Amino acid sequence: MSTRFFSEDEIRRLRSWPEEIGRNELISYFTLGSDDRAWILRSARGSGNRLGLAVQLCALPWLGFVPDDVPAVPRSASNRLAVQLGIAVAELETYGEREQTRTEHLRLVAARLRWRTAGAVEWKELEQFLLARAVEHDAPSVLFRLGCEYLSSQKVVRPGAISLMERIATVRQDAVAEVYGRVEPLLDEHRRVSSTGCWPSSRA
């Protein structure tokens, strides 16, 4: 079973910013409170770093992750944040040239918003959630979407698209075995023998 169920173009889009952002999303996710602005000023030095940190602060709840190319955020979003912080939007252009800065800012943002990165416990919980869904919905793209929604609801930063696809492929295999285990007692010997080409053997 292939782990790459999205094309390279689709994977690239999953890693990137949406091309557009609606007005409601813009207002809901890219509006800073006075406490947010104070925290940004305390947490980063330099106008570019402050604007980049603000983008990450707003992007994580919006997308469930932050694309690596922070300056490529939709222009309407960066303009809105720049106005609120009193910073020229052009200052964002050089943000993230040092990967360490971008990574450290994401850590600060996650801590402020009380989000977690995916560790062993989070992966196990995600797999359990997906297994229950996979018994009903085998389409990998549906499982990917449901997995992303689940991670956001649990405030877990979405892992890389390829890592998530690999886990979904494994879960789909487990779901096949789970379904077979449920129906095997209902099969008589003749049906069990005739279905060996479709079902994994529980005696292997």
pLDDT in tens, 36-72: 999 999 999 999 999 999 999 999 999 999 999 999 9
Q: Are residues 135 and 49 located together in one domain of the fold?
A: no
pLDDT at 202: 42
> Per the structure, how many domains does the chain have?
2
Range of the domain at 172: 120-194
Last residue of some domain: 86, 113, 140? 113
Q: Are residues 126 and 183 located together in one domain of the fold?
A: yes
Helix count (H) and strand count (E) of the chain? 10, 0
pLDDT at 197: 53
Q: Are residues 30 and 109 located together in one domain of the fold?
A: yes
- DSSP-derived secondary structure letter, 116: B
SS3 category, 91: helix
Q: Are residues 124 and 109 located together in one domain of the fold?
A: no
With contact defined as beta carbons under 8 Å apart, do 67 and 31 qualify? no
pLDDT at 136: 81
With contact defined as beta carbons under 8 Å apart, do 137 and 146 qualify? yes
Decide if 147 is inside a domain.
yes
> Which parts of the chain have pLDDT scores under 50?
1, 199, 201-204
Vertex 111 angle, CA 108 and 112, to 5°? 85
Decide if 200 is inside a domain.
no
**What residues are paired with 116 via a beta bridge?**
156
Q: Are residues 106 and 187 located together in one domain of the fold?
A: no
pLDDT at 191: 59
Q: Are residues 89 and 125 located together in one domain of the fold?
A: no
pLDDT at 201: 47
Residue with tokens 């994580």: 60
Furthest C-alpha separation in the chain: 75
Last residue of some domain: 72, 90, 113? 113
Residue 36's CB is within 10 A of a number of other CB atoms, namely 17
Q: Are residues 13 and 31 located together in one domain of the fold?
A: yes
Last residue of some domain: 60, 90, 113? 113
User: pTM of this prediction?
Assistant: 0.83
Separation of alpha carbons 111 and 20, rounded Å: 27
Decide if 202 is inside a domain.
no
Separation of alpha carbons 19 and 70, rounded Å: 13
**What residues are paired with 156 via a beta bridge?**
116
pLDDT at 17: 97
Q: Are residues 31 and 109 located together in one domain of the fold?
A: yes
Kindly compute the dihedral angle of the four CA atoms of residues 148, 68, 108, 77, in this order, to the nearest 10 degrees: -80
- Using alpha carbons, select from 180, 110, 122 the residue that is nearest to residue 150: 122
Q: Are residues 12 and 108 located together in one domain of the fold?
A: yes
- DSSP-derived secondary structure letter, 135: T
Q: Are residues 16 and 89 located together in one domain of the fold?
A: yes
Decide if 33 is inside a domain.
yes
Residue with tokens 């479709």: 198
pLDDT at 190: 53
